[in-house]
Structure 1
Amino acid sequence: MAMGMQSRRGRRAPMAEINVTPMVDVMLVLLIIFMVTAPLLVTGVPVDLPDSKASALKADDKPIQISLDGTGAVFIDDASIPPDTLAAKLSAIHDARTDDPRVYVRAARTLDYGRVMTVVGEVSAAGFRKVALVSAPAPAPKRK
């Protein structure tokens, strides 16, 4: 009688327990999917960044990323743009935004320093004040 919890008329009493196993299974699958896809969403144009001992930047909001690859091609976020239209494009982006967004400049280590500083100068001339150069973290020193 204790197994079925039947009443006098043969009906079963409502079960007061909730089976959460299927929900936990779904949540674990979603967690794995997000863990795999999150690093893929962050990366942009592949650039061989120089090493630096500077600490990592805080990521409060989505910054504007300007990338220069090894050939000197210029990208805003993931879109390739001609180098001569960079100033006009940056001015249009600055005029369209109401806040003062961060601008990250990523350049390949093989590029000429003057080329990188030309791009940084155009970013500054467009009105952006929060400009940062992005580098890869320095490798840890080997201990003897």
Structure 2
Amino acid sequence: MFDWDEKPELNITPLVDVMLVLLAVLMVISPNIVYEELINLPKGSAQTEVKEKKEIEIVITDSKRITVNKKPFEFATFSDNFALFSNQFSKESVVRISADHRLEYGDVMGVMSGVKHAGLTNISLATSN
């Protein structure tokens, strides 16, 4: 007959032994696993010379007088004249714009827009205390 009061006992010792063996195997093998990614790097050119980038400094006074590298420009025709002037510079040249704090935001952004339309994108705004 079947005894309903009897409770089964679970013997987990063999399970623990197997897991410890697997852990030991993984610990021995894991340092030897190497992942290799093949990368094709481009060939460099030995003939490429580093050219010094000329800096363009634009100063805008409170009376909307613009000077580019100490050369005066008219505010109304700045975009067209600067596009012609910028042809002598590389497109990677650094442009630094210093504007008087009393100018309106739109005036400074108009000058910056003219610089961008000339093809120069490396533009920084200088600040003073």
TM-score normalised by structure 2 residue count: 0.54
Aligned residues: 78
Alignment pair present for 1:97 and 2:89: yes
Q: Confirm whether residue 113 of structure 1 aligns to residue 124 of structure 2.
A: no
Give the Cα–Cα distance (whole angstroms) in 2 for the partners of residues 99 and 128 of structure 1: 5
The 1-side partners of 2:90 and 2:101 are apart by 33
TM-score when normalising by structure 1: 0.49
**What's the counterpart of residue 127 of structure 1?**
119
**CA root-mean-square deviation:** 1.8
CA contact (8 A) 2:53 2:92 kept: no
Is 2:82 aligned against 1:74? no
Distance in 2 of aligned mates of 1:114 and 1:121: 10
**Alpha carbons of 1:81 and 1:71: their partners in 2 closer, same or farther (altered >3 Å)?**
same
Percent of aligned pairs sharing the same letter: 21
Amino acid at match of 1:96: Q
Segments ≥4 residues shifted beyond 4 Å = none
CA distance in 2, matches of 1:104, 1:61: 13
Structure number with bigger Rg? 2
CA gap 1:97/1:119 in 2 versus in 1, 3 angstroms: same
Relative contact order, higher structure (CA 8 A, sep 6+):
1
